[in-house]
């Protein structure tokens, strides 16, 4: 651990069921941590009973092992990540902690939608990929291909992965990040049968491609596993081609930290200096029944020891580190000291949340926050079965939200509802099960409901908002925000934390008017507030309150009280009372709020609904049933291709129509369809069903049945 040259921090990423956890098992068996007989079936990294029962990984789990390469020992810190789209947040967080990724692809299925998503997450965090093509034995034994055809198919998989890397990050592709079998950055094998082969491995063992083919044909996997053990091929590739913390942090620190590189802490992070100030980024929080909250993360600079006092970004008081350790799958091992470049698990940081920066340096610029690819789209209401559990339930929901930042918990004080929004039905089902099992609170959950967003369709003239005492007036107009700017905000390229000149330039480049770019005073979700007034007295004192009014509307729009998206509010004029007593919060907030609410209703307030991309593979005979099922759910078919007798349908379907899809698609295709989904963004609800949906939401939230009009919000 003390020699960063000999550390590799890696993540294993892939589409669901392509063999990540089975591969991790093999690597652990090779390091002598679990028995070789059980490797591939024990699924050591899926330590949670729910993961074992469902046969999928739900939480990313960490383990450290030692591998000998060229007679030197190396420490490998490995994170096994989930493949299911509902748990994609875990992949994003794991990518912040590692420097390299092993991308696993099933030789039969090839690259799938989720392979694309996880590769994009890795490249965005500047994590270098190598490729492992798994399940090669299936190509030979199930699809009966000859050795020529086998090489062609494997070549196609490699080409496709390279094409993805090139499209997602051309600079890195040119810098030599492409995967290449001849160079040794690709390994082929079978995680279930514990063997793998790569070009360097062939030179080492003398086993050629045709030998592999003959062994598989003869079903003699055991000899193959003895001659070419999987852990050796994969870990040699990892040590040889993936960067150590010293090399990786030079380039990565610039991407994930926006402070000044020439300060002492900047230099210390770039060189992974164990004697520098502490800089630790929290990427995961789990609850240990005995030790409380355990924060896992990557240590970029300094060393962690027990009892040291640290600052956590966003809080003023110091916390004291209680235990320092590393994770070995489900167990945590305590150590005395962890130096920079490692992945550590710490207890005692009560105020830390996922994405926090922990440091010994007061006032250090925090790390860039972790951005998740998809947004919560499905909500359930949670109630305690027994009234006595109510106070405990609120505490438990807060804990759960801290452990999983992709989960949104809303405690609605007006209606007394506790709402839990997540990535999909499975995500919420798993969380609900865990609340009952681990936290011992019996709960009932409502049917899943879809999360909508409110938005506007056109630009309007300025609307006057008056304060209740009639002494203050604001003139505000609203218009839709350009899509380029919306995506820049979501990608984190534009935010209120960046230097003003840099932000202004970025917005002008995206096509915003120079004066407007200069006047931005607030960004909330994907909405912005711009002040275009000149020389109005007392305005800078009241701006905070105006922004409070703006944020209040953006959290709950006038039409359905759902969150608002993609709206630009512009303040063009204001009249304020000269006496501070007459322009307090009770006057200013309602005035700003009403002007924006009325403006949105005049600008044709509408709803955006979440969509999922649905990929269906089905035999051509039953293709009609599958397309009919998708179109019956307001789905749009984007593309249809055929491979042999298999049809591959790519479509986009509203999440609201996806409930119960699993059962229906099975019966429509005689159980022969394979399907997967990924988040497909938001789109406007068709006007033919808009009023019906608005009515349903208003009824559910206990609002008045008739639709609001702009005049309801303006005081005469």
List binding-site positions. 14-21, 80-84, 134-137
Tokens of 673: 């369809």
- Between β-strands 567-575 and 527-531, what pairing exists: parallel, antiparallel or unpaired? parallel
Q: Give the H/E segment covering residue 320.
A: strand 318-320
CA 623/CA 615 separation, integer angstroms: 13
Backbone angles phi, psi at 530, to 5 degrees: -120, 135
Question: In 49-164, which ranges are E strands?
Answer: 61-69, 72-80, 100-106, 128-134
Neighbours of 347 (CB within 10 A): 20
Backbone angles phi, psi at 49, to 5 degrees: -65, -30
Contact by Cβ (8 Å): 148, 119: no
Decide: helix, strand or coil at residue 569: strand
Which residue bears the tokens 């210390």? 268
Tell whether the torsion through CA atoms of 329, 442, 703 and 447 is positive or negative: positive
CA 233/CA 695 separation, integer angstroms: 60
- Which strands make up the sheet holding 567-575, listed edge to edge? 463-466, 473-480, 567-575, 527-531, 520-524
CA 525/CA 539 separation, integer angstroms: 24
Query: For residue 452, what are the contacts with CB-CB under 8 A and spacing of at least 6?
Result: 560, 562, 607, 608, 609, 610, 685, 693, 697
Contact by Cβ (8 Å): 22, 28: no
- Between β-strands 309-312 and 318-320, what pairing exists: parallel, antiparallel or unpaired? antiparallel
Q: What is the 3-state secondary structure (H, E, C) of 4-28?
A: HHHEEEEEEEECCCCCHHHHHHHHH
Backbone angles phi, psi at 460, to 5 degrees: -130, 170
Decide: helix, strand or coil at residue 517: helix
In the DSSP assignment, the letter for residue 271 is T
Contact by Cβ (8 Å): 542, 589: no
DSSP string, 610-675: EEEEEEEEEEGGGHHHHHHHHHTTT-EEEEEEEETTEEEEEEEEEGGG-TTHHHHHHHHTTT--EE
Contact by Cβ (8 Å): 265, 276: yes
CA 433/CA 64 separation, integer angstroms: 29
Bridge partners of 478, per DSSP, are 569
Helices (H) then strands (E): counts for the chain = 23, 32
Decide: helix, strand or coil at residue 560: coil
Query: For residue 639, what are the contacts with CB-CB under 8 A and spacing of at least 6?
Result: 649, 650
Decide: helix, strand or coil at residue 597: helix
DSSP string, 176-232: IIS--TTTT-EEEEETTTTEEE-HHHHHHH---HHHHHHHHHHT-HHHHHHHSBHHH
Q: Give the H/E segment covering residue 432.
A: helix 425-438
Q: What is the CA radius of gyration of the chain?
A: 28
Binding-site positions for GTP: 14-21, 80-84, 134-137
Which residue bears the tokens 């420097």? 99
Tokens of 413: 């004080």
Bridge partners of 607, per DSSP, are 454
Tokens of 319: 């916390």
CA 612/CA 654 separation, integer angstroms: 6
């Amino acid at each position: 651990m003390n020699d960063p040259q000999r550390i590799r921090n890696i993540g294993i990423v892939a589409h669901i069921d392509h063999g990540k956890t089975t591969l991790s098992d093999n690597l652990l068996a090779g390091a002598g941590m679990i028995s070789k007989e059980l490797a591939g079936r024990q699924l050591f990294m899926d330590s949670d009973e729910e993961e074992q029962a469902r046969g999928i990984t739900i939480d990313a789990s960490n383990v450290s092992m030692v591998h000998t390469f060229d007679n030197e020992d190396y420490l490998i810190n490995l994170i096994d990540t989930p493949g299911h789209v509902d748990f994609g947040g875990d992949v994003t967080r794991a990518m912040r902690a590692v420097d390299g990724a092993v991308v696993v692809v099933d030789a039969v299925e090839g690259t799938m939608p989720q392979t694309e998503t996880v590769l994009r997450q890795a490249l965005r965090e500047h994590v270098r990929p190598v490729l492992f093509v798994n399940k090669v034995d299936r190509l030979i034994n199930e699809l009966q291909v000859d050795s020529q055809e086998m090489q062609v198919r494997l070549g196609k998989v490699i080409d496709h992965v390279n094409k993805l890397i090139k499209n997602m990050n051309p600079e890195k592709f040119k810098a030599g990040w492409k995967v290449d079998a001849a160079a040794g950055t690709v390994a082929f094998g079978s995680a279930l049968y514990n063997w793998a082969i790569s070009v360097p491995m062939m030179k080492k063992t003398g086993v050629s491609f045709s030998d592999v083919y003959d062994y598989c044909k003869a079903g003699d996997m055991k000899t193959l596993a003895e001659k070419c053990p999987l852990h050796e091929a994969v870990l040699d590739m990892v040590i040889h081609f993936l960067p150590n913390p010293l090399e990786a942090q030079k380039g990565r620190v610039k991407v994930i930290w926006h402070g000044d590189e020439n300060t002492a802490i900047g230099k210390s992070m770039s060189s992974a200096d164990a004697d520098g100030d502490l800089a630790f980024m929290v990427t995961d929080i789990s609850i240990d029944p005995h030790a409380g909250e355990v924060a896992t993360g990557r240590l970029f600079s300094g060393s962690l020891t027990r009892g040291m006092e640290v600052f956590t970004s966003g809080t003023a008081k110091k916390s004291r580190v209680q235990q320092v350790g590393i994770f070995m799958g489900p167990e945590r091992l305590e150590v005395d000291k962890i130096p920079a470049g490692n992945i550590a698990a710490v207890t005692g940081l009560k105020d830390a949340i996922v994405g926090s920066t922990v440091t010994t340096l007061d006032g250090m610029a925090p790390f860039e926050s972790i951005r998740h690819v998809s947004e919560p789209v499905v909500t359930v209401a949670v109630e305690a079965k027994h009234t006595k559990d109510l106070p405990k339930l609120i505490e438990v929901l807060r804990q759960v939200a801290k452990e999983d930042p992709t989960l949104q918990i809303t405690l609605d004080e007006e209606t007394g509802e506790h709402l839990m929004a997540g990535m999909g039905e499975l995500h919420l089902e798993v969380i609900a099960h865990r609340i009952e099992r681990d936290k011992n609170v019996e709960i009932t959950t409502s049917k899943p409901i879809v999360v909508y967003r409110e938005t506007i369709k056109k630009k309007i003239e300025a609307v006057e908002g008056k304060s209740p005492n009639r002494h203050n007036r604001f003139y505000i107009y609203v218009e839709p925000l350009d899509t380029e700017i919306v995506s820049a905000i979501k990608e984190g390229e534009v935010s209120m934390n960046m230097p003003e000149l840099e932000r202004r330039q970025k917005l002008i480049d995206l096509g915003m008017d120079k004066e407007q770019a200069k006047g931005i005073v607030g960004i909330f979700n994907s909405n912005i507030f711009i002040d275009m007034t000149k020389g109005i007295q007392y305005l800078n004192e009241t701006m905070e309150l105006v922004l409070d009014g703006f944020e209040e509307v953006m959290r709950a729009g006038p039409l359905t009280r759902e969150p608002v998206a993609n709206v630009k509010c512009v303040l063009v004029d204001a009249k304020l009372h000269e006496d501070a007593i007459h322009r307090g919060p009770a006057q200013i907030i309602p005035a700003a709020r009403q002007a924006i609410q009325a403006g949105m209703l005049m600008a044709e307030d509408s709803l955006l609904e979440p969509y999922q991309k649905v990929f269906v593979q089905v035999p051509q005979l039953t293709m009609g049933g599958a397309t009919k099922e998708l179109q019956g759910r307001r789905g749009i078919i984007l593309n249809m291709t055929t491979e042999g007798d298999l049809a591959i349908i790519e479509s986009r379907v509203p999440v609201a129509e996806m409930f119960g899809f699993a059962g229906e698609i099975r019966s429509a295709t005689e159980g022969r369809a394979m399907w997967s989904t990924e988040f497909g963004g938001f789109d406007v609800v068709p006007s033919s069903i808009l009023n019906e949906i608005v009515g349903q939401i208003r009824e559910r939230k206990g609002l008045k049945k008739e639709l609001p009009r702009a005049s309801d919000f303006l005081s005469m």
